[in-house]
């Protein structure tokens, strides 16, 4: 049964991708219908899979040789993320029915969205590191294809290629990890290495650990690879919600959490993970404060929230990280889709032109505010509970307190930019003549469950902890009931402190006119932040460097026959010299 | 029919049939140019050849005994490498013959084209199986002769002639160097038989010089940097089917010839493989950087062949140096997948070149701007081209990902720090290569087609069929890479025997 | 001082190859390029004959040489054919006008 469900969850979206593509762009209604049907079916299959969560390999496809065996196992981490991917995936597809109504080339759009959903499920359910890397790359491929879906727009193309190249560059870390594992153990099996990291020599394990950190950071848009995510906002908004907020960017966190038992003993690894998370959370939050593009604010906040999760993994709070991942997937998908409804309605992403939209879009305002409050970490929304758990994890294990302090500050910043965003879009006086209308029916169908989820998913804490604890023995996650977890959060002193900081953030926005002096003092910071703290300059330098050296190298192709012959003679002399002088006779 | 006879026929049939194709084609051309008899005859010959190869190959694979055949001075040996090369050449050659029917339908001299293409296929199968140093040279030279004419097939275009001249001069210089090396080896060992040389060739300065001459001489054909300068010209100016053959199998055939010759000198020094690894690094980097800023599609693809030769050298070189079986198998797997992917890329580019330019009677090259929005009119071609270049960039679930992976695994398994560093460097190069592959795909899927696309002629059915077949191959091998193990495994073992046994 | 025949042949071989490569590097005339290739191949061919002689297999060396002559003649024919076409299409045999394929 579970075997069949695994195959269905991966296979159905892929089959759907094929059908949507084959249906042809002359039948948009059929394409919408097929996409919704297949993604919903996959979602149901994934939900049915949850009760089967355990750490056993259920499917083994024997490929052999350098490729190992393709294995799949539905453990807690896997089924939970598979469910998130397919459920939010189907909501994004439903949302697209309205959002993409008048678009061309729907076949390509749905094919890649569905291809992505299947690949994401495969990525979290497989226990073969080669296969994981392959799925990892497929998600990168689909992400690239969807970011530059509007190929005529040069910005979209550039954003897509940037995302592809940066995640691939980081992905080399995972490649190295997988190769190290195979070279030392002759297999790609993840469960073995997690259960018994000692089978790798310490040096090899360190290479693997830091390689995975690089890969995870690139995928989850963490420091120092964070720059691709804001540019990825050129994608159609449902794609941003699905891939760049709720699912693919979580793959990095998933990778680190998955391998935590194997890598926690590597000297410096946990500290490095915490530092990456903390820096990402801080830098992105500051950038979110100054950004004016609605989707970019959301993108920065995604980087920042992912930073929380990465920090939590480093701090040893696997449960906290995964629980926040769940909350974040729901409320951030909600925020993105809500933003999509706004953008679809008014035709701009610039918040400076919005304002007062709430009057005409009451439904969207309602759900967006719910999402924003969860992002800010206000009780009793899901974001509150999971964020508090992360901060608590920061206290444990003798983790450095100054990092925890930074994370607390970031939660204040988060509250600040959340309120700013809501205010600029929905409240105040309209700043431009925009004709807003409320969300369409399919959009509402997608938004409502997410809003309800934002209000309620924290109630799942108990069963979620039981699922992880039972199916991930190596992670040593303790099972608690929901009541216990909630009580623990409510009685922890750090919760109070965090709430005070969040309130402070709120007050700062409220009293922003009185803080004009502070704002002036921060002009320098604003300029640095809008210039992405110099990371974009580094990116540009790398690209320019490659292009310039390529252009210079091209002059070696002279087109003159005499030179071509000369190269040949020089090469002959060179090889002779190397052989006779250098490596020579044995 | 015994396996040996079948093998002899597999090598001899295309070569022997080539003049017949020419003559009959020539006569048919006079009588009724519409039938294009030469093409169908060539196709028939190649299919028959496939049958013979199947008999010989299955005998070899089931008994694990190399087939040895000789008539007169010609001696042939069917081992893993020979079989792999033969299958790659014959499969791609057959598809190219199918494709070329419509592609050169408007040119004169079609019978020459198909006769020479068939002969070239035969000579490459022979080259892979040559068991004697001088035989090796003769096959190599014959292959080169066929390709000179084919590269300059558009004989009224200055650029094609220029490419042909450069290719001929550099390649001929290469064959002279090989002859000199043969002279040295012959003087030193008194034999031309590869097996006898293996035993007789001992370390000495002259033998090192012979090896260097082999590397450079055969290296011209297999496009080692900096001997590659003919390649971008020839590959971009040749008819597209020939570009596919040159890039997909001819440069690899040059490498096989080099491996055979160096393998015979394996006692002279252990550094042959290390040298190949050095060329691997240079090829990958230079190929990618040169391709990065190209504006002509076929020239871009030609430069990317340099970098892919680098990956192949990485696999084969690590196999030769350390005896890593996964590396060697990965290198040969990459020869196969590269033949499919680059063949597909050139054929798709050629199909667009035909529909957008040649069918409208202009001789301009296909530039990247012409690709804009091509998917609107040619959806299957655009898809095939995307599959090809993304596969070349090493993205799953396409064949290129798996073959690169196998090379990388082998490299890491050697445990040698240099080779591991080279693998990481190769990975970086794959990322770099996406910098020119990905924009091509973006262009294809633009909404607004280029003007030239809107005026394009319809795509001939046979071209579409060949592209679909190759695309399917690239995808299937990407999902299930071990489907090629039966072919790459024996080839890897043959290579290890060449350099170690 | 007397020079043995093999040494003399060796010197001729090296001379032919040297002149050939030098000519390839410097000449600007397509026909001269083909002539240079001919010199090179003749040198290599002589080397094979010498090798046959030195190893006591004169007949083998000579049969190799004959094979090389055949192959080499075809190369020359193709080269000349290309030259004819170049003259026709481009209008000159000067290599400086054959530099359009660059970068």
Taking chain B (501 residues) in runs of 10, the rounded mean pLDDT of each run is: 91 95 91 85 96 94 90 90 97 96 86 95 96 95 96 93 95 96 94 92 92 96 94 95 96 96 91 93 96 95 96 95 92 97 97 94 91 93 96 94 95 93 96 95 92 93 96 95 92 92 58
Instruction: Give the pLDDT score at B87.
Output: 97
The reply to whether C97 falls in a domain is no
* Entry field: residues in chain A: 586
Mean pLDDT of A160-176: 94
Confirm if A337 and A361 have CB atoms less than 8 A apart: no
Cβ–Cβ below 8 Å for C37 and B157: no
Per-residue confidence (pLDDT) for residue B501, from 0 to 100: 58
> Binning pLDDT at 50, 70 and 90, where does residue A63 land?
confident
Which of B179, B209, B300 should be substituted to probe chain C, the one whose Cβ sees the most C Cβ atoms within 10 Å? B179
pLDDT the model gives residue A294: 93
Cα dihedral: A502, A504, A510, A511 (round 10): -160
Neighbours of chain B (3+ CB pairs under 8 A): A, C
pLDDT reported for residue A584: 45
CA distances from A32 to A16, A39, A367 (A): 11, 11, 25
Q: Is residue C36 part of a domain?
A: yes
pLDDT at position A200, please? 92
More confident residue, B404 or A478: B404
> Residue C103 is nearest to which of A555, A562, A569, comparing CB atoms?
A555
Average pLDDT for residues C58-69, to the nearest whole number? 92
d(CA B142, CA B127): 9
What pLDDT is attached to residue C2? 78
Residue-level pLDDT at A585: 43
C85–B148 CB contact, under 8 Å: no
**Is residue A244 a contact partner of residue A229, using CB atoms and an 8 Å limit?**
yes
Distance CA A510, CA A514 (A): 9
| Cα separation, B316 vs B406, whole angstroms | 12
Query: Which partners does chain A have (≥3 C-beta pairs < 8 Å)?
Result: B, C
Chain C residues in contact with A560 by the CB 8 A cut-off are 95, 99
Residue C100: inside a domain, yes or no?
A: no
Domain count, chain C: 1
Task: Look up the CATH number of the domain holding residue C50.
Answer: 1.10.287.3510
For residue C29, give its domain range: 5-91
Across the interface, whether the CB atoms of C75 and B184 are under 8 A apart is answered no
Which among A558, A566, A569 is the nearest to C102, CB-wise?
Answer: A558
Would you place residue C39 in the very low, low, confident or very high pLDDT band (cuts 50, 70, 90)? very high
Mutate to test the interface with B, among C31, C51, C55, C103 (most CBs of B within 10 A): C51
Q: Which residues pair with B77 in a beta bridge?
A: B68
Chain A interface residues facing chain C, Cβ-Cβ under 8 Å? 554-555, 557-562, 565-566, 569
Q: What is the mean pLDDT of chain A?
A: 91
Residue A563 burial (CB count, 10 A): 16
Does any CB of chain A come closer than 8 Å to the CB of residue C24?
yes
CA B483 to chain centre: 20
pLDDT band at residue A515, thresholds of 50, 70 and 90? Answer: confident
For residue B103, the model assigns a pLDDT of 87
The predicted complex's ipTM stands at 0.96
* CA gap A565, A145 in Å, rounded: 43
* Reduced DSSP (H G I as helix, E B as strand, rest coil) percent helix, strand, coil of chain A, to 5: 80, 0, 20
- What local confidence, expressed as pLDDT, does residue A586 receive? 41
Residue A158: pLDDT over 90: yes
Provide the percentage of residues in chain A whose pLDDT is more than 90: 68
Is pLDDT at A42 greater than 90 in this prediction? yes
> Over 50: is that where the pLDDT of A417 sits?
yes
Tokens, residue A469: 């604890």
B168: distance to nearest CA of chain C, Å? 7
Tens digit of pLDDT for each residue in A283-300?
999 999 999 999 999 999
3-state secondary structure of A126: strand
Chain B, 150 to 189: residues with Cβ < 8 Å from chain C are: 152, 155-159, 161-166, 168-169, 172-173, 176, 179-180, 182-184, 186-187
Residue C31 covered by a domain: yes
User: Roughly how many angstroms between the first and final C-alpha of chain C, as a whole number?
Assistant: 53
Mean pLDDT across A25-54: 91
Taking the C-alpha atoms of residue B58 and residue B64, their distance in angstroms, rounded to an integer, is 10
- What confidence category does residue A583 fall into, taking pLDDT thresholds of 50, 70 and 90? low
């Amino acid at each position: 049964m579970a075997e069949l469900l695994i195959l269905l969850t991966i296979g159905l979206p892929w089959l759907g991708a094929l059908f949507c593509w084959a249906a042809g762009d002359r039948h948009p209604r059929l394409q919408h219908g097929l996409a919704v049907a297949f993604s919903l079916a996959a979602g149901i299959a994934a939900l049915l899979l949850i009760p089967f969560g355990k750490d056993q390999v259920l499917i083994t496809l024997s490929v052999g040789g350098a490729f190992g065996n393709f294995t799949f196992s539905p453990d807690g981490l896997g089924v939970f993320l598979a469910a998130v991917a397919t459920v939010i995936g189907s909501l994004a597809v439903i949302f697209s029915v309205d959002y993409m109504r008048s678009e061309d080339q729907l076949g390509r759009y749905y094919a890649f969205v569905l291809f992505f959903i299947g690949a994401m499920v495969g990525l979290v359910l497989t226990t073969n590191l080669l296969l994981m890397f392959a799925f990892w790359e497929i998600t990168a491929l689909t992400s690239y294809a969807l970011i530059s879906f509007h190929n005529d727009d040069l910005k979209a193309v550039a954003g897509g290629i940037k995302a592809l190249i940066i995640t691939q560059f980081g992905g080399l870390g995972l490649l190295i990890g997988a190769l190290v594992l195979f070279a030392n153990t002759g297999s790609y099996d993840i469960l073995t290495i997690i259960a018994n990291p000692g089978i790798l020599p310490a040096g090899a394990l360190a290479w693997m650990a830091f390689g995975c950190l690089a890969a995870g950071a690139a995928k989850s848009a963490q420091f120092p690879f964070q720059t691709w995510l804001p540019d990825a906002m050129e994608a159609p908004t449902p794609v941003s919600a699905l891939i760049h907020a709720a699912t693919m960017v979580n793959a990095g966190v998933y990778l680190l959490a998955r391998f935590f038992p194997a890598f926690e003993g590597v000297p410096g690894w946990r500290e490095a993970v915490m530092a990456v998370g903390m820096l990402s959370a801080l830098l992105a939050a500051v950038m979110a404060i100054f950004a004016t593009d609605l989707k970019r604010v959301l993108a920065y906040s995604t980087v920042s929230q992912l930073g929380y999760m990465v920090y939590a993994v480093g701090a040893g709070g696997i449960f906290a990280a995964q629980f926040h991942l769940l909350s974040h997937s729901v409320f951030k998908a909600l925020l993105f889709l809500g933003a999509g409804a706004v953008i679809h309605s008014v035709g701009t992403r610039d918040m400076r032109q919005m304002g007062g939209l709430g009057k005409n879009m009451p439904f969207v305002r309602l759900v967006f505010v719910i999402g924003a409050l969860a992002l800010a970490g206000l009780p009793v929304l899901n974001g509150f509970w999971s964020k508090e758990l992360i901060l608590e994890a920061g206290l444990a294990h003798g983790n450095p307190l100054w990092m925890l302090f930074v994370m607390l500050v970031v939660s204040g910043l988060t509250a600040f930019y959340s309120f700013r965003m809501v205010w600029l879009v929905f409240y105040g006086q309209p700043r431009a003549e925009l004709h807003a209308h409320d969300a369409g029916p399919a959009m509402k169908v997608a938004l409502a469950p997410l809003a309800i989820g934002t209000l309620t998913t924290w109630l799942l804490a108990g069963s979620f902890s039981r699922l992880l604890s039972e199916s991930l023995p190596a992670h040593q996650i303790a099972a608690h009931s929901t009541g216990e977890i909630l009580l623990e959060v409510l009685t922890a002193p750090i919760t109070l402190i965090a709430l005070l900081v969040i309130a402070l953030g709120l007050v700062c926005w409220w009293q922003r006119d009185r803080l004009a002096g502070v704002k002036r003092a921060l002009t320098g910071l604003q300029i640095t932040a809008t210039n992405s703290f110099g990371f974009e300059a580094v990116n540009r330098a790398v690209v320019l460097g490659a292009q310039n050296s390529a252009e210079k190298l091209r002059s070696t192709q002279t087109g003159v026959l005499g030179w071509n012959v000369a190269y040949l003679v020089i090469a002959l002399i060179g090889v002779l010299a190397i052989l006779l002088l250098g490596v020579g006779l044995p | 029919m015994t396996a040996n006879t079948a093998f002899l026929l597999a090598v001899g049939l295309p070569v022997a049939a080539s003049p017949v194709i020419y003559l009959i084609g020539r006569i048919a051309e006079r009588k009724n140019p519409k039938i294009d008899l030469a093409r169908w005859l060539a196709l028939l010959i190649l299919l028959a050849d496939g049958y013979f190869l199947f008999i010989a190959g299955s005998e070899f694979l089931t008994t694990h005994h190399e087939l040895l055949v000789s008539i007169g001075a010609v001696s042939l040996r069917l081992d893993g490498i020979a079989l792999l090369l033969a299958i790659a050449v014959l499969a791609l050659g057959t598809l190219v013959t199918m494709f070329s029917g419509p592609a050169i339908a408007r040119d004169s001299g079609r019978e020459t084209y198909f006769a020479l293409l068939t002969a070239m296929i035969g000579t490459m199968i022979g080259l892979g199986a040559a068991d004697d140093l001088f035989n090796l040279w003769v096959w190599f030279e014959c292959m080169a002769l066929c390709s000179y004419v084919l590269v300059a097939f558009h004989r009224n275009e200055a650029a094609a002639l220029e490419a042909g001249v450069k290719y001929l001069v550099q390649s001929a210089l290469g064959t002279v160097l090989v002859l000199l090396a043969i002279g040295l080896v012959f003087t030193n060992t008194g034999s031309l038989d590869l097996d006898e040389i293996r035993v007789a060739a001992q370390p000495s300065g002259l033998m090192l010089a012979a090896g260097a001459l082999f590397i450079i001489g055969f290296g011209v054909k297999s496009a080692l940097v900096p001997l590659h300068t003919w390649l971008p010209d020839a590959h971009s100016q040749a008819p597209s089917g020939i570009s596919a053959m040159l890039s997909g199998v001819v440069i690899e055939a040059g490498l096989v010839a080099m491996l055979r010759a160096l393998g015979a000198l394996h006692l002279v020094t252990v550094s042959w493989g290390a040298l190949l690894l050095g060329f691997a690094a240079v090829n990958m980097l230079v190929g990618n950087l040169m391709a990065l800023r190209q504006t002509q599609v076929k020239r871009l693809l030609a430069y990317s062949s340099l970098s892919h030769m680098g990956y192949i050298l990485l696999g084969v070189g690590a196999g030769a140096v350390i005896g890593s079986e996964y590396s060697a198998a990965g290198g040969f797997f990459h020869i196969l997948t590269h033949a499919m992917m680059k063949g597909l890329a050139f054929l798709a580019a050629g199909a667009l070149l035909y529909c957008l330019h040649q069918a409208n009677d202009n001789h301009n090259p296909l530039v990247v701007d012409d690709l804009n929005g091509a998917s609107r009119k040619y959806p299957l071609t655009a898809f095939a081209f995307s599959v090809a270049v993304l596969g070349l960039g090493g993205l799953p679930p396409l064949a290129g990902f798996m073959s690169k992976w196998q090379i990388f695994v082998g490299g890491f398994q050697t445990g040698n720090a240099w080779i591991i560093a080279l693998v990481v460097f190769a990975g970086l190069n794959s990322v770099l290569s996406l910098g020119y592959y990905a924009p091509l795909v973006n262009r294809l899927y633009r909404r607004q087609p280029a003007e030239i696309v809107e005026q394009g002629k319809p795509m001939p059915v046979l071209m579409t069929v060949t592209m679909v077949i190759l695309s399917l191959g690239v995808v299937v091998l990407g999902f299930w890479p071990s489907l090629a193990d039966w072919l790459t495994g024996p080839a890897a073992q043959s290579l290890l025997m060449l350099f170690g046994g | 001082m007397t020079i043995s025949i093999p040494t003399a042949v060796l010197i001729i071989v090296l001379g032919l190859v040297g002149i050939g490569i030098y000519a390839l590097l410097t000449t600007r005339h397509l026909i001269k390029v083909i002539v240079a290739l001919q010199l090179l191949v003749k040198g290599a061919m002589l080397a094979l004959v010498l090798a046959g002689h030195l190893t006591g297999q004169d007949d083998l060396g000579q049969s190799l040489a004959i094979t090389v002559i055949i192959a080499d003649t075809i190369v020359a024919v193709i080269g000349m054919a290309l030259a004819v076409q170049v003259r026709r299409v481009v209008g000159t045999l000067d290599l400086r006008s054959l530099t359009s394929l660059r970068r």
